[in-house]
Amino acid sequence: AWDDSLDRVADRLRRIFTAAQGTSTFVNLDMEEYHDLELTIAAFTRVLDEQPYRADEAGIVLQAYLPDSFPALQRLVEWAGQRRRAGGGEIKIRLVKGANLAMEKVDAAMHGWEQAPYPTKADTDANYKRCIDWVLTPERTEAVRVGIGSHNLLDVAWAHLLADARGVADRVEIEMLQGMAPSEARTVRDERGRVLLYTPVVAPQDFDVAIGYLFRRLEENSAEDNFLRILGQLQPGTASFDVIAKDWRRSLAARWEAETGRRRSLDRSRPYEPVGVAPFANEPDTDPTSAANRQWALDAIAAGAGSLATPVTTEIEVVDRVVDAARRAQRGWAALAASERRRTLRAVADELARRRGDLLAAMVHEAAKTIAQADPEISEAVDFARYYADRALELESDAAAFDPLGVVAVVPPWNFPVAIPAGGVFAALAAGNAAILKPAPETPRCAEIVAECCRSAGVPTDVMAFVRTPDDDVGRRLVTTVDGVILTGSLDTADLFRSWKPDLRLFAETSGKNALVITPSADLDLAVADLVQSAFGHAGQKCSAASLAICVGDVYESPRFRRQLVDAVESLVIGPVVDPATVVGPTVGTNPRLERALTTLDPGEEWLVAPQRRDGAEHLWSPGIRTGVAPGSWFHLTECFGPVLGLIPARDLDEAIAIQDASPYGLTGGIHTLDPREVATWLDRVEVGNAYVNRVITGAVVQRQPFGGWKQSSVGPGAKAGGPNYVRQLGVWRPDAEGDAERDDERWLAAALASDEHWWAVEFAVDHDPTGLFCEANVFRYRPLPRVGLRAGRDARPVEMARVRAAAARCGVPVVESTVDDETDADFAARLPSLGVERVRVVGSVDDAVRAAAMAARVHLADAPVTADGRVELLHYLREQSVSRTLHRFGNLVSGG
C-alpha cells in the first residue's frame, strides 16, 4: 500500500528474527492480503540476506489463488538456492490455496479494480497443482522445504505420492488447521507419519481474536465449493465422489494452462485512454500494488516540485472585467444544447485523468496531502465531471422551466484543493452558468490545473475563469457581484459572505464536529481501525473527520479497546508527505482552536496519547487522544480541524445519540455495532447528512455517497454534492411558458398535486442505491424537515399558497405560517428566530429586513417561484441523507449489516 515501505517492514522483520534467535521459534511469514505480497517477499529476502540472519531458517506462505504466486515461487526458489550455496540457511515455502478471497473481492469492488485472485476455483486448483508439481524436485527442494497446506485429501494424497516418486518426501510436510478436520488429519498422520497442525495462539485477554480467525476459516471451509463442506458425503462409487474426482482430474490436466502474473492492468505510466461519453462509472483509484504505479507517483511528485501558480490578481478592476466577460459569455454557453455541455464536461474528465500526475504533485507539495489521500481525490474530481455532465440532461420539465443563475463564483478550501473546486465548477457549468474559480490562497496551483483542463477540453476561457484574489476587499468584490457563490469553508465564512450581501444565493458546505459511536456489540478490532482512519487521515484536516468517539457502556473503560487504539495510533508513520510511507503529515497552518486542542486539557480530561510536535517542525504533530471529554464541553462542540481525537463515555445508546446530536453541526457520523436493532435505532434518530454504519466516516464517493450536511453544516437549499439534485439547485425553476393571466388555477393546482404524488412515489418516498455494490449498501434517501416556516408576501397568490401547503403536507412536514395580512415584514423578521425552523418557504416577495433576520438566524429563505413540478417543489420540505452500510465481515456477507 502507499502507506507502507520496504524499509519499515524490513525493520519490523529484523526485530522478529532477532527475538527468535537462540530459541526454538520458527518464523513463518503469512500475508492474507494481496497488497502485502511483493512487499513481504522483498522484506523477507532482504533481511535473510543480511549477515546477522544469513544462517537463519524461516518460512513464507504463497497463495495459489493469486496468478502472481507461481512466478513468486520461482523467484523464491532461485534466491533460496543462491543463499544456500553461499553458506546460508534454508527456507520453507508453505503453499495454500488462499484464505482471503472474500475480502479480495470486496477490495476490488470498492476501488473499481480487477480481482487479484483467479476468477474461478478451477483456475486456483490448477495453479495449486502447478506450484506443487514444479517445486517438488530434488534440485528445487535442495534449499527449500515445502509445506502443503490443504484439507483436500485428493491434493494431499497426490502431493504425497509425487514427493515419494521424486525422492523428496523428507522435504515435504502436510499442514492442516487444528480442529477443522480431525479424523482426516489423523488418517494423513498415520499414512505420512507426521502432520503439522496450526492454530492461532493469543494472550487470554485477546481470545476473541483467535475466535474471529477460526470463524473466518470455518466460513471459508464451509463455502459451497470447498472440499470440507462435502467431505462427509464422499464415498467411492457415489455420484458426489465422481464429480469431485472429475473436477480434480480436470484441474490436474490444466495445471500448466492457467494464467500467471498480475491480473490488474491499471498502469498510470501508460498513456491515458479517454472514456468520452459513456455510462457513468466511478474512476478507479491508482492501484499501489503495482510497482509501475508506485514509481509513477514518485516521478510525478519529483517533477512537480517547482510548479507555481499564476500571480495573484489584486485589482478590483480586474475582477470587474472578469465578471463582465463571464456574464457575456454565459449566454452563449447556456444556449448550447445540454448534450453539448455534457460532451464538453466529459472531455474535461478525460483531461483531468490524463493530468493525474500533475494534480497529484500539486496536492502533495501545496496541500501537504499524502499520496494515499491525494490520489482518490483526483478520481473524485473526474467523477464530478462525468456525473454532473449527465445531470445536465435532466434540466427539462413539462411543468417548469429552468434558468441558470448566470455567473457563479466557486470558493473552495485548501484541504480538498482539487475535488471540491472541480465539483463546484462542473456543477455550475452543467447548469448553464459561467464559473469563476477563486482558489484557496494556500493551494492555487491545484485549482489552476483544474482550470487548465477545462480550457484544454473546450470550455471557453470566459465561461470558466480562474482568478486569484486575496481575502480582502478584492475577494469581497467578487462575492458580491456574481449571481451565486458555491462555498466550502467555515460557518464563519458563510456568515461573512451573507453579511456582505443578504440576498446572496449561497450554496455552502460548512463545518462539522463528527462522532463515531461504538457500542459493546461492536467488533472492536474493526471499530478501532475505522476510527483511526477516520480521525487521522490527512492529519484530521477533513470536515468529515471523526474528532469524537462516543463509547457506550464498558467500551470506554475496556482495556482491550484502549490498548488497540493506542497501538494503532502510535503505529502511524509521522513525517513528510513526499515519503510514500507517511500516514500523518503536517497540518496546513494552525489556528487558535487547533493549538488549544493540541496543547491544553480541560478539567476532567487526560491524554491517552499526548500529541507531540515532531522534529522541531512547526506544523508536524503526532496524533493525540484525550479521554474524559464531557458532554457540552469545549472539545465536544468545537471543530478543531487537526489530529486530535476525544473519547466521551455514554451509559447507553440513547445517551450516545443525544451526545452526537447535541452538536450544532450535522455533517457526518457513524456507528459501530453488530446489533441490527442498534443500527435501526441510530439511523432513525441521528441528525447527520452522511451516516456510516460499520465503516469509516470519511471518503465519500460521487453518486455512491453524495456529500453534505444538516443543521449548521449546510447553508442554502441543501442539495448534496455528487447527488442527483446538486446541479438542479444552481438555477431558478419558474412556471412554464403558460402566462399567469391565462392559467386556470384549479386545473394548475390539480396538475401540481398529481405531480407531487408521482414524484413522491418514484423519487422521494423510496430509497435509492444506484451503485449496487454487493458488499456495501449506499442508500440515498429523503427525510422530512421537523418543520418549516411559510411566509406569504404582499403579492402571494392564494392558489400558490394552497399549492405549497399541499406539498408540505405530502412530505409530512408541519408548517408555521405567516402572511402579510397577519404581521408586517418587520414583525415577522423580529419573530423569525423564535420559530424553531431552519427553512422558510417564501411565496411572493419579502423585504430586506426579513432577509437580514434570516441571515442572522441562519435560516434559509426558499424564495424560488412556485411551480407545478413536484420534482422541484417537494425538495423545499425535505433533507437529503446518505446512508453507507458495510454488508460483510471480512468479506463474508452478513444479514443486518
Q: Which three cell numbers stand for residue 353?
A: 485523468
> What is the separation, in whole angstroms, between the first and last Cα of the chain?
27
Nearest CA to 778 out of 786, 769, 787, 766 is that of 769
Query: Structure pTM?
Result: 0.94
- Residue 133, classed as helix, strand or coil, is helix
Tens-place pLDDT, residues 582-598: 999 999 987 899 999 99
pLDDT exceeds cutoff 60 at 359 = yes
**H or E element: which one contains 682?**
helix 676-685
Beta bridge partners of 62: 95
Range in 86-95, 645-654, 741-750, 839-848 with the lowest mean pLDDT: 741-750
C-alpha to C-alpha distance for 119 and 130, rounded to whole angstroms: 17
**Burial environment of residue 755 by CB neighbours within 10 A (0 to 12, 13 to 18, 19 or more):** buried
Range in 392-406, 668-682, 729-743, 867-881 with the lowest mean pLDDT: 729-743
**Residues near 751 by beta carbon (within 8 Å), at least 6 away in sequence:** 399, 868
Rounded to the nearest angstrom, the gap between the alpha carbon of residue 135 and the centroid of all alpha carbons in its chain is 42
**Residues near 697 by beta carbon (within 8 Å), at least 6 away in sequence:** 514, 516, 530, 534, 544, 545, 546, 668, 669, 670, 690
C-alpha to C-alpha distance for 516 and 530, rounded to whole angstroms: 9
pLDDT mean over 760-788: 97
Radius of gyration of the chain (CA): 31
Which pLDDT belongs to residue 742?
65
Which pLDDT belongs to residue 723?
98
Query: Long-range contact list for 84-87, CB < 8 A, 24+ apart?
Result: 84/142, 84/143, 85/143, 86/54, 87/54, 87/55
Nearest CA to 707 out of 520, 883, 580 is that of 883
Q: Which residue carries 464563519 as its cell?
A: 492
Q: How confident is the model at residue 879 (pLDDT cuts 50, 70, 90)?
A: very high
Q: How confident is the model at residue 1 (pLDDT cuts 50, 70, 90)?
A: low
Q: Which amino acid is at 401?
A: A
pLDDT mean over 433-455: 97
**Residues near 13 by beta carbon (within 8 Å), at least 6 away in sequence:** 29, 43, 44, 47
pLDDT mean over 331-336: 98
Query: Secondary structure of 688-716 in the HEC alphabet?
Result: CCEEEECCCCCCCCCCCCCECCEECCEEC
Sign of the torsion angle spanned by Cα atoms 735, 736, 739, 744: negative
pLDDT mean over 159-181: 91
Which pLDDT belongs to residue 228?
67
Tens-place pLDDT, residues 12-36: 899 999 999 989 888 988 888 899 9
C-alpha to C-alpha distance for 834 and 841, rounded to whole angstroms: 16
Tens-place pLDDT, residues 781-821: 999 999 999 999 989 999 999 999 999 999 999 999 999 99
C-alpha to C-alpha distance for 209 and 791, rounded to whole angstroms: 59
DSSP letters, 570-625, are HTS-BS-TTSTT-SB---SS--HHHHHHHH-PPTT-EEEE---B-TT-TT-B--EE
Choose between 234 and 149: higher pLDDT: 149
Tens-place pLDDT, residues 205-226: 778 777 777 777 777 666 666 7
**H or E element: which one contains 60?**
strand 58-63
- Strands 776-784 and 878-886, sheet pairing: antiparallel
Nearest CA to 105 out of 884, 891, 895, 897 is that of 891
Q: How confident is the model at residue 670 (pLDDT cuts 50, 70, 90)?
A: very high
DSSP letters, 508-541, are EE----EEEEE-TTS-HHHHHHHHHHHHHGGGG-
- Inter-CA distances, 342 with 90, 99, 198, 618, Å: 62, 45, 58, 45
Question: Average pLDDT of the chain?
Answer: 93
Query: Long-range contact list for 321-326, CB < 8 A, 24+ apart?
Result: 322/436, 322/465, 322/467, 323/407, 323/436, 323/478, 323/481, 323/482, 325/462, 325/465, 326/407, 326/434, 326/435, 326/436, 326/462, 326/463, 326/465
Q: How confident is the model at residue 4 (pLDDT cuts 50, 70, 90)?
A: low
Sign of the torsion angle spanned by Cα atoms 451, 453, 456, 460: negative
Which pLDDT belongs to residue 229?
66
Which pLDDT belongs to residue 2?
57
Q: How confident is the model at residue 9 (pLDDT cuts 50, 70, 90)?
A: confident
Query: Secondary structure of 348-369 in the HEC alphabet?
Result: HHHHHHHCHHHHHHHHHHHHCC
- Inter-CA distances, 460 with 189, 325, 345, 485, 724, Å: 77, 11, 12, 20, 26
**H or E element: which one contains 9?**
helix 6-20
Yes or no: say if 645 and 865 are a contact pair by the CB < 8 Å rule.
no
Which pLDDT belongs to residue 242?
84
- Residues recorded for the chain: 897
Rounded to the nearest angstrom, the gap between the alpha carbon of residue 290 and the centroid of all alpha carbons in its chain is 21
- Strands 464-466 and 815-819, sheet pairing: unpaired
C-alpha to C-alpha distance for 737 and 735, rounded to whole angstroms: 7
Beta bridge partners of 465: 436
Which pLDDT belongs to residue 897?
45
Q: Which amino acid is at 769?
A: D
Tens-place pLDDT, residues 222-252: 666 677 666 767 778 888 788 888 999 999 9
Which pLDDT belongs to residue 590?
78
Tens-place pLDDT, residues 531-557: 999 999 999 999 999 999 999 999 999
Rounded to the nearest angstrom, the gap between the alpha carbon of residue 224 and the centroid of all alpha carbons in its chain is 32
pLDDT mean over 379-390: 98
What is the Cβ-side half-sphere exposure of residue 618, based on CA atoms within 13 angstroms?
Answer: 4
